[in-house]
Amino acid sequence: MATEAEKTTADIPKNPLSGENDSARRQIALNLTVIARLIRNNFDRKVAALNVTRSQWTLIAVVSRNPGATQRVIAEHLEMSEASAGRLIDRLCAEGLLVRRDRKDDRRARAVYLTDAATPLLEQLHQIAAAGEERMFGNFSAEEIDTLHDFMARIYENVCRG
């Protein structure tokens, strides 16, 4: 069986959503959907050995990028209900990966932070993500990545405008 690096274009399955008569725009839009799913699924497979679910690793990632975020902010980032985010935060607090602290500016809200115990897990998640990014962008030049970054930022802005 061929390794990932040995796979040729012929070995890569055709995107089942793209049709030969689709416009380039339609093919790009469909490919973005499929690529996002493949990235998530590949990452999920890699982190399964760490006994972390997608919900858990995404919440940990949100808190690592937004230390002191409230449950409401975390729920918004994860596009889930506050109650669901609260249960997930409770579970990760019980596992010692997160901690809730009182906020000085709002007695009703609690801020969520990573604990020191989360650091090794976060480092492992980072290593898995970096390996996936290396595979994904391995044959791109720095200039091509910069150009793609600019294009993706523009697409993001356009989509956000609704």
pLDDT value for 162: 73
pLDDT tens readout for residues 51-108: 998 899 999 999 999 999 999 999 999 999 999 999 999 999 999 999 999 988 877 8
CATH number for the segment(s) 23-160: 1.10.10.10
Phi–psi pair at 52, nearest 5 degrees: -125, 130
SS3 24: helix
Region of 127 on the Ramachandran plot (φ > 0 left; ψ -120 to 50 alpha; else beta): alpha
Exposed / middle / buried, residue 29 (Cβ in 10 Å: 0-12, 13-18, 19+): middle
**pLDDT category, 18, cuts 50, 70, 90?**
low
Token duo for residue 154: 């523009």
Specify the range with the lowest mean pLDDT, choosing from 50-54, 72-76, 120-124, 148-152: 50-54
Question: Does the reported pTM lie above 0.85?
Answer: no
Q: What is the largest CA-CA distance in the chain?
A: 59
Q: Which residue has the higher pLDDT, 107 or 157?
A: 157
Query: What percent of the chain is predicted at pLDDT more than 90?
Result: 77
- Percent of the chain at pLDDT > 70 equals 89
Query: Residue 49 corresponds to which amino acid?
Result: A
Q: What is the mean pLDDT of the chain?
A: 90
Q: What are the residues whose beta carbons fall under 8 Å from the beta carbon of 150, sequence distance 6 or more?
A: none
CA-wise closest residue to 63 among 44, 89, 94: 89
Cα 126 vs. chain centroid, distance in angstroms?
11
Amino acid 107: pLDDT: 79
